[in-house]
Amino acid sequence: MSDLWSARFKKETDVLLKKFNSSIAVDGLMYCEDIEGSLAHAAMLCKKGIISAKDCAAITEGLKGILEDIKSGALEIDPEAEDIHMFVEAELTRRIGEAGKRLHTARSRNDQVATDVRLYLRKKAASASAALRNMIKALYEVALREKDTVMPGYTHLQRAQPITFGHHMLAYASMFIRDAERLKDAVKRMNLSPLGSAALAGTTYNIDRAFTANALDFDGVVANSLDGVSDRDFAAELAFCASLIMTHLSRLSEEVILWCSWEFKFIELDDSFATGSSIMPQKKNPDVAELVRGKSGRVFGDLISLLTMLKGLPLAYNKDMQEDKEAVFDALKTATDSLEIFAPMLLSMRINADNCAAAAKRGFINATDMADYLTKKGMPFRSAYKLTGELVAACQENGMTLEEIPLERLKEASELFDEDVYEALKLKTCLEKRVSEGGPSGKAVQKQLNAVKEYLDE
């Protein structure tokens, strides 16, 4: 009988089951964390007198050797092994003999895997955080460069009111800052050690959970042993963090795709971040943005997989949970990869300020400003709104803009109109007058830029 757990079995495991049961293709990625966890566990067993110093030294040396050999490629992770925990333990015993068989004292694969996953995800979350930061930095730089580039702001994808390209970018910076904070929060909740929960009910040995928690840089220990081995909230939370990152990236992707279409042409992607067509020689396609928009579906799928996998599980460990890794690893990796390619794409794209301005000139995006002009001169806003709406309709019939209406015609509509209305309708004025906090005026945008800069400098 080859399996470590096969003592009570009288028949060999069917080859189909062996294959079906194996998780090494995914959890092999956690070999570092598995060994780190075992090193801490062995040190604790020794400190508490549960194994001898001699055995501990042999285990430690053996594990370090395995780690080095996997890293250097001298030791290949056996693709037929059941999982990384079994592989490392079997290899250790092959190398150091009897002492290797003492490593699993007062431990189960259930608390071992829960520990490994948390350690592994902590690293991957750090990479995602770094990618988020870089993305926020790219948005900041584009916003700074384009803080005076006028463009139409939209609602219902209809031109609505004037904003600047920088103001638009800063909206995304706010979203990704929230994503970064959310991720930090999730990591904080995850960073507790389940080691010592053993299979589900702790152990009869006088172990020291705080010692292993400390050695592995956890902030403390999981309070309840059943929870320690069966909680995968942290995986779901991280997958949700990744999902929201993808949602934000996907919205931006949609805009990038629209903006580089001939219908908009607000931006031009750098050649190094666009692709061509195999048949249409003129094409320059925004594949990065399309892929990111598409991959968001995968990440949401990962989140739903995790929630669905967990929802019917009785306490404590169930093998269903082996499915957690593929989903959460994929979610974090996809979000990180997407962020990593998006930042340089944004930084290298060219903004076509003329086209943005031309679009801002059409579409009556200064209509609210005309209504505000009349309101400030004493007309109730609802009346001003109605009057302006009628002028817009008349302009549309004649192919004119509001600022092209002669003053005498305006005065027919209302005596409140004066020469200064033309100044009030200028896009530049409409922008600069939008001084409310968070708005697109130069001053308000500068304040937002400063806040993002401060966040990045922290």
Residues marked as catalytic: 156, 277
* Closer Cβ to ligand ARG, 27 or 231, answer by number: 27
**Is residue 27 close enough to count as binding ligand ARG by CB under 6 A?**
yes
Using the 8-state DSSP alphabet, how is residue 440 labeled?
A: S
**Is residue 33 close enough to count as binding ligand ARG by CB under 6 A?**
no
193: β partners = 221
**Is residue 327 close enough to count as binding ligand ARG by CB under 6 A?**
no
Residue 8: CB minimum distance to ligand ARG, A: 14
| Contact status, residue 402 vs residue 391, Cβ threshold 8 Å | yes
155: β partners = 158
Question: Using CA atoms, how far apart are residues 188 and 193, in angstroms rounded to an integer?
Answer: 12
CA dihedral 144, 149, 151, 155 (to 10 degrees): 20
* Closer Cβ to ligand ARG, 324 or 372, answer by number: 324
Residue 457: CB minimum distance to ligand ARG, A: 41
Q: With CB under 6 A as the contact rule, which of the stretches 240-248, 318-326, 329-337, 339-347 interacts with ligand ARG? A: 318-326
Interface residue with ligand ARG, options 321, 335, 360, 449 (CB under 6 A): 321
Q: With CB under 6 A as the contact rule, which of the stretches 72-80, 106-114, 141-149, 248-256 interacts with ligand ARG? A: 106-114
Structure-block tokens of residue 323: 């499915």
Q: What is the DSSP string of 176-245?
A: HHHHHHHHHHHHHHH-SB-TT-TTTT--SS---HHHHHHHTT-SSB-S-HHHHHH--HHHHHHHHHHHHH
Interface residue with ligand ARG, options 33, 36, 55, 83 (CB under 6 A): 83
**Is residue 430 close enough to count as binding ligand ARG by CB under 6 A?**
no
Residue 104: CB minimum distance to ligand ARG, A: 12
**Is residue 113 close enough to count as binding ligand ARG by CB under 6 A?**
yes
**Is residue 303 close enough to count as binding ligand ARG by CB under 6 A?**
no
**Is residue 13 close enough to count as binding ligand ARG by CB under 6 A?**
no
Using the 8-state DSSP alphabet, how is residue 115 labeled?
A: H
* Closer Cβ to ligand ARG, 209 or 232, answer by number: 232
Per residue, the 3-state secondary structure of 42-65, as one string, reads HHHHHHCCCCCHHHHHHHHHHHHH
Interface ranges with ligand ARG (CB under 6 A): 23, 27, 83, 109-110, 113, 317, 319, 321-322
